[in-house]
Amino acid sequence: MQCATEYLIRSGVGRENMGKITINEEYCKGCGLCINFCPQKLIRTANQISKPGYHPAELCDLENKCTGCAICAMVCPDVAITVYREKKNVGEKK
Ligand code: SF4
Ligand code: SF4
Protein backbone atom coordinates (compact mmCIF):
# COMPACT_ATOMS: atom_id res chain seq x y z
CA MET A 1 0.00 0.00 0.00
CA GLN A 2 1.23 3.47 -0.87
CA CYS A 3 1.57 6.05 1.90
CA ALA A 4 0.52 9.65 1.29
CA THR A 5 4.09 10.94 1.22
CA GLU A 6 5.16 8.30 -1.26
CA TYR A 7 2.17 9.16 -3.44
CA LEU A 8 3.08 12.85 -3.43
CA ILE A 9 6.72 12.11 -4.25
CA ARG A 10 5.94 9.62 -7.02
CA SER A 11 3.12 11.61 -8.56
CA GLY A 12 5.09 14.82 -8.58
CA VAL A 13 2.35 16.81 -6.87
CA GLY A 14 3.71 20.20 -5.93
CA ARG A 15 6.53 20.08 -8.46
CA GLU A 16 6.58 21.92 -11.72
CA ASN A 17 9.02 19.73 -13.62
CA MET A 18 9.85 16.07 -13.55
CA GLY A 19 12.68 14.52 -15.41
CA LYS A 20 14.22 11.22 -16.22
CA ILE A 21 17.42 10.24 -17.94
CA THR A 22 18.72 7.19 -19.68
CA ILE A 23 22.42 6.44 -20.00
CA ASN A 24 23.65 4.48 -22.98
CA GLU A 25 26.20 2.03 -21.60
CA GLU A 26 27.67 1.50 -25.04
CA TYR A 27 28.81 5.12 -25.11
CA CYS A 28 29.56 5.82 -21.45
CA LYS A 29 33.23 5.62 -20.50
CA GLY A 30 32.64 6.14 -16.79
CA CYS A 31 34.45 9.48 -16.64
CA GLY A 32 32.23 10.65 -13.77
CA LEU A 33 31.53 14.14 -15.07
CA CYS A 34 27.76 13.69 -14.90
CA ILE A 35 28.09 12.33 -11.37
CA ASN A 36 29.96 15.43 -10.26
CA PHE A 37 27.71 17.91 -12.02
CA CYS A 38 24.21 16.61 -11.19
CA PRO A 39 22.85 19.20 -8.75
CA GLN A 40 20.54 16.59 -7.22
CA LYS A 41 23.35 14.01 -6.82
CA LEU A 42 21.28 11.35 -8.57
CA ILE A 43 23.94 9.66 -10.68
CA ARG A 44 26.42 7.09 -9.46
CA THR A 45 28.92 4.61 -10.81
CA ALA A 46 27.40 1.22 -11.56
CA ASN A 47 28.89 -1.94 -10.13
CA GLN A 48 28.66 -3.88 -13.38
CA ILE A 49 31.09 -3.56 -16.24
CA SER A 50 29.72 -2.56 -19.63
CA LYS A 51 30.50 -4.25 -22.93
CA PRO A 52 33.18 -1.64 -23.74
CA GLY A 53 34.79 -2.48 -20.39
CA TYR A 54 33.91 0.46 -18.14
CA HIS A 55 31.89 0.96 -14.99
CA PRO A 56 29.17 3.15 -16.51
CA ALA A 57 27.18 5.84 -14.80
CA GLU A 58 23.66 4.98 -13.69
CA LEU A 59 20.71 6.96 -12.43
CA CYS A 60 19.66 6.37 -8.83
CA ASP A 61 16.50 8.40 -8.35
CA LEU A 62 14.24 6.50 -5.96
CA GLU A 63 12.41 9.67 -4.91
CA ASN A 64 11.92 11.07 -8.40
CA LYS A 65 14.07 14.12 -7.74
CA CYS A 66 15.35 14.50 -11.27
CA THR A 67 14.24 17.88 -12.58
CA GLY A 68 15.23 17.25 -16.17
CA CYS A 69 17.71 20.12 -16.01
CA ALA A 70 19.89 18.32 -18.59
CA ILE A 71 23.18 19.41 -17.01
CA CYS A 72 24.32 15.80 -17.01
CA ALA A 73 23.69 15.50 -20.74
CA MET A 74 25.42 18.81 -21.46
CA VAL A 75 28.63 17.84 -19.66
CA CYS A 76 28.82 14.29 -21.02
CA PRO A 77 31.64 14.21 -23.58
CA ASP A 78 30.33 10.98 -25.11
CA VAL A 79 26.71 12.04 -25.66
CA ALA A 80 25.60 9.03 -23.64
CA ILE A 81 22.74 10.68 -21.77
CA THR A 82 19.22 11.33 -23.01
CA VAL A 83 16.95 13.54 -20.92
CA TYR A 84 13.17 13.29 -20.79
CA ARG A 85 11.23 16.10 -19.21
CA GLU A 86 7.57 16.30 -18.27
CA LYS A 87 6.01 19.58 -17.28
CA LYS A 88 3.29 19.36 -14.66
CA ASN A 89 1.07 21.99 -13.17
CA VAL A 90 1.40 22.43 -9.43
CA GLY A 91 -1.34 20.38 -7.77
CA GLU A 92 -1.98 18.23 -10.83
CA LYS A 93 -2.40 14.56 -9.91
CA LYS A 94 -1.12 12.93 -13.08
S1 SF4 B 1 18.68 15.94 -15.65
FE2 SF4 B 1 19.58 17.22 -13.99
S3 SF4 B 1 18.68 16.42 -12.08
FE4 SF4 B 1 18.31 14.89 -13.68
S5 SF4 B 1 20.03 13.44 -13.49
FE6 SF4 B 1 20.62 14.98 -15.04
S7 SF4 B 1 21.75 16.59 -13.92
FE8 SF4 B 1 20.63 15.33 -12.40
S1 SF4 C 1 29.61 12.07 -18.35
FE2 SF4 C 1 28.95 10.60 -19.94
S3 SF4 C 1 30.74 9.27 -20.26
FE4 SF4 C 1 31.07 10.38 -18.30
S5 SF4 C 1 30.23 8.97 -16.73
FE6 SF4 C 1 28.57 10.37 -17.31
S7 SF4 C 1 27.43 9.28 -18.94
FE8 SF4 C 1 29.42 8.28 -18.73
What is the CATH code of the structural domain delimited by 15-87? 3.30.70.20
CB 61 within 8 A of CB 36: no
Give the pLDDT score at 19.
95
**pLDDT at residue 5 is higher than 60:** no
Mutate to test the pocket of ligand 1, among 16, 23, 28, 43 (most ligand atoms within 8 A of CB): 43
Gap from CA of 48 to ligand 1 centroid (Å): 21
Q: For ligand 1, is residue 70 a contact (CB within 6 Å)?
A: yes
Give the pLDDT score at 70.
97
Give the pLDDT score at 83.
98
Distances (CA, A) of 39 to 17, 50, 55, 58: 15, 25, 21, 15
Q: pLDDT per residue over 14-44, tens digit each?
A: 556 799 999 999 999 999 999 999 999 999 9
**pLDDT at residue 90 is higher than 50:** yes
Between these two residues, 18 and 4, which has the higher pLDDT value? 18
**Residue 50 CB coordination number (10 Å):** 17
